[in-house]
Amino acid sequence: MKIQTQMFGTVEIDDEKVLVFADGLLGFEEHTRYALIEAEELQPLTWLMAVDEPEIAFPLADARYFVKDYEVGITKDDREALDVHESDDIAILTIVSLPTEEKPLTANLRGPVVINMTSRLGRQVVLRDERYSHRQPSLAEAGVVAT
């Protein structure tokens, strides 16, 4: 399907690559179908765009860009909702706040987006782990080189 977007122009989305977030994202529970918009010029960001309302898009980044040893304890309920099996390809991404002159790039490490790339199911997980912040600066911002 072709989708006209204000941010990305016309994008082609393969119906088989649409991600389903049965519970939506926090604050956007009514939007359940998303697509990942990836391009070399957008790196290190990927965008999660609502297929049915393309003006809704979230910038995402690999959580390890912010914390090298980031860990997400996926509960049994999360595993079931994501239809996770041992051989599945799981992506753990974090929603980021884009930098401004006043604020650096930060990530919400307390609410990662977990995607089973095999089943195309996604879920935003809420962590109670106090080690992580909802406004975590990037390793580069902190003067640490990410590997």
How does pLDDT run across 132-146, given as a tens digit for each residue? 889 888 766 544 444
For residue 36, the domain's CATH number is: 2.30.290.10
Domain membership flag for residue 109: yes
Task: Please identify which residue in the block is written with the tokens 């980031």.
Answer: 70
- Whole-angstrom distance, CA of residue 15 vs CA of residue 20: 11
Domain membership flag for residue 34: yes
Domain membership flag for residue 12: yes
Domain membership flag for residue 53: yes
- Whole-angstrom distance, CA of residue 49 vs CA of residue 41: 17
- Hey, is 82 helix, strand or coil? helix
Tens of pLDDT, residue by residue over 107-140, are: 999 999 999 999 999 999 999 888 888 988 876 6
- Hey, is 73 helix, strand or coil? coil
Domain membership flag for residue 100: yes
Domain membership flag for residue 142: no
* 9-16 contacts, C-beta under 8 A, 24 or more apart: 11/35, 11/37, 11/49, 11/54, 13/51, 16/120
Domain membership flag for residue 30: yes
Q: Which helix or strand (DSSP H or E) is residue 72 part of?
A: none
Average pLDDT, the chain: 89
Tokens of residue 78, six digits: 């999360």
Tokens of residue 95, six digits: 């929603």
- Domains: count for the chain: 1
Domain membership flag for residue 127: yes
- Provide the pLDDT confidence category of residue 56 given band limits of 50, 70 and 90: very high
- Hey, is 78 helix, strand or coil? helix
Q: Burial of 117 by CB count in 10 Å (0-12 exposed, 13-18 middle, 19+ buried)?
A: middle
**Is the pLDDT reported for residue 104 higher than 50?**
yes
The residue that leads in pLDDT, 96 or 138, is 96
Structural domain including 18 reads: 2-137
- pTM of model > 0.85: yes
